[in-house]
Amino acid sequence: MSTHANAACEESEPAFLGCVEQFFDKAAAVSGVKSETLAAIKRVDAVLSVTFPIELENGKTEIVRGYRAQHSHHRLPVKGGIRYADEVDMQEVEALASLMTYKCAVVDVPFGGAKGGVAINPKKYSTRELERITRRFALELCQKNFIGPGIDVPAPDVGTGGREMSWIMDTYRQFNPTDINSAGCITGKPVNQGGVRGRTEATGLGVYYGVREFLKYDEVQKQTGLTGDIEGKRVVIQGFGNVGYWAAKFFEANGAKIVGVADQDCGIYNEQGINIDELQEYKSAKGVLGGYSSGTIVPESIKLIEAECDVLIPAALERQIGLKNVNRIKAKVIGEGANGPITPAAHDILVKNGRVVVPDLLLNAGGVCVSYFEWLKNISHIRFGRMNKKWDEQGKAQLLSLVEENAGRKLTVTERQQVIHGAEEHELVYSGLEDTMIKACEETRVTANEFGNIDYRTAAIANAIRKIAAVSEGSGSLFTNRG
């Protein structure tokens, strides 16, 4: 959807990296952190730009360019996704790496931020060609010491998934055959390659948890006129990839009505609600949303974000709401499922107009949270729940037997199983993610209310800055003038 950026943004508005820096500067001004520390936090610690030749199946050779940025080494390893897209460049990678640092700090994940990109359209290549490109990029990262369990932990992003992560992990293992923690060098892997259950839906689930929490706050209800329940809320989703699909699915499962879904080719609007699984099946079969019959087609998909709704989830790409379209946004709550979908000037107008913006570094942090859980699983070498599931069930069964004896009634087999059921891995992951999001949302709310006149984005970034500063200053890792 990056082709729609000009439809949203004026030429005077900054590019993605400039947007991130403007948001940082605004939060830095209220953070109370020393200027020299702020300067150190803002800079990017390390960048890598590489080119390499790839032989295609037709016998031709193509030169591919890749990037990796490590924004902050205040905590190690650094973590961030790898994006495959034609438009990827170093500025975008630096912007995303910076956001990842602040995102990790906001949700108390002990990683620094990183990001990577390969400037290709993955749809133009065969599986064998993609594997060659991915392995060669991983080789470059290994040779430049930009990858490893204690250094840098790449993860999937747009255009990549578990398959690509497995290729990178295998390449790393070939260079480090004695590293018993090699599975921890990559997150977002398939479960059979050391991945964690719940990772696929994590970012979308985090989006749902975050919006749910903000709707509970009295001040948000007063500002928007909405009730505190998800049930009955009209939701528009922009971007029907992994994040958009799972966010829509969790909203729908909890009683919301998905009235609009936009993707690259077009949008679908239906005031009566869209069946998300049915729409996903159609897209899987056709590759596009165009032609879907249960709703009105919106040919210019970016226009769908202007539709009447209670909650808007921009889950596509950056700079989708700018000065050209911001005053036509009707949603009362905008939850940023994507990174950087709103420009600074547009954000200020939304806040002035009484809209509640739940920022990207908080709302879409579900992915990095569960990547952290996957990393913990890999370095501990054990599946979550393996050691205690049956023990928990036995303890619950004994307690339930005492209750049944005193109550004079025995539960049915189904009822009994529901009560004593021990948590599976994905349930523990969901629980950990939910607790993390509740705490991070509340911290953001407290900071915003403490200052009284700052928005939730500024509050979230200010919290991140304070946490990063505490680690950096406490460790003595900053170079400071001591007279």
Q: Which residues are annotated as a binding site for NAD(+)?
A: 203, 242
Rg (CA), the chain: 23
C-alpha dist (Å) from residue 392 to 381, 386, 389, 416, 427: 21, 11, 5, 14, 14
Which residues sit in the known binding site for substrate? 79, 103, 371
Q: Which residue among 42, 60, 115, 233 is the active-site one?
A: 115
Quote the strand ranges of 148-248, DSSP E.
152-156, 234-238
283 in catalytic set:
no
CB 79 within 8 A of CB 473: no
| Burial class of residue 248, CB neighbours in 10 A (0-12, 13-18, 19+) | buried
CB atoms within 10 A of CB 194: 20
| Cis status, amide bond into 77, omega within 30 of 0 | yes
State whether the Cα torsion 439-443-448-454 is positive or negative. Answer: negative
C-alpha dist (Å) from residue 48 to 62, 87, 146, 147, 402: 20, 17, 8, 12, 63
Which residues sit in the known binding site? 79, 103, 203, 242, 371
User: How many helices and strands, by DSSP H and E, does the chain display?
Assistant: 17, 12
CB atoms within 10 A of CB 462: 26
| Burial class of residue 177, CB neighbours in 10 A (0-12, 13-18, 19+) | exposed
CB 333 within 8 A of CB 356: yes
**Which residue shows structure tokens 């739940």?**
358
Q: Describe the crossing of helices 90-106 and 366-380 by its angle, rounded to 10 degrees.
A: 80
Please tell me the distance from the alpha carbon of residue 49 to that of residue 62, in angstroms, as a whole number: 17
CB 196 within 8 A of CB 370: yes
Please tell me the distance from the alpha carbon of residue 261 to that of residue 244, in angstroms, as a whole number: 9
Annotated catalytic residues are 115
